[in-house]
Amino acid sequence: MDLTDHIAVWQQNVNKLCSCQYNLISNNELVNKGISLIALQELAIDFNGYTLASRDWTLVYPTPHRSLENPTRAVMLINASIRLDTWKQLDFPSSNITVIQLNGGWGKLTIVNVYNNCNNDDTV
Q: DSSP readout, 17-32?
A: -HHHHHHHHHSSHHHH
Is residue 34 one of the residues assigned to a domain?
yes
Is residue 123 one of the residues assigned to a domain?
no
Residues 81-124: pLDDT tens digits? 999 999 999 999 999 999 999 998 889 999 999 998 877 776 66
Residues 8-29: pLDDT tens digits? 999 999 999 999 999 999 988 9
CATH number for position 27: 3.60.10.10
Is residue 109 one of the residues assigned to a domain?
yes
Per-residue pLDDT at 1 exceeds 90: no
Higher local confidence (pLDDT), 13 or 4: 13
Is residue 122 one of the residues assigned to a domain?
no
Domain encompassing residue 30: 9-114
What is the pLDDT at residue 49? 87
Across the chain, the runs of DSSP E, i.e. the strands, are: 9-13, 37-41, 57-60, 74-79, 87-90, 97-104, 107-114
Structural domains counted in the chain? 1
Is residue 103 one of the residues assigned to a domain?
yes
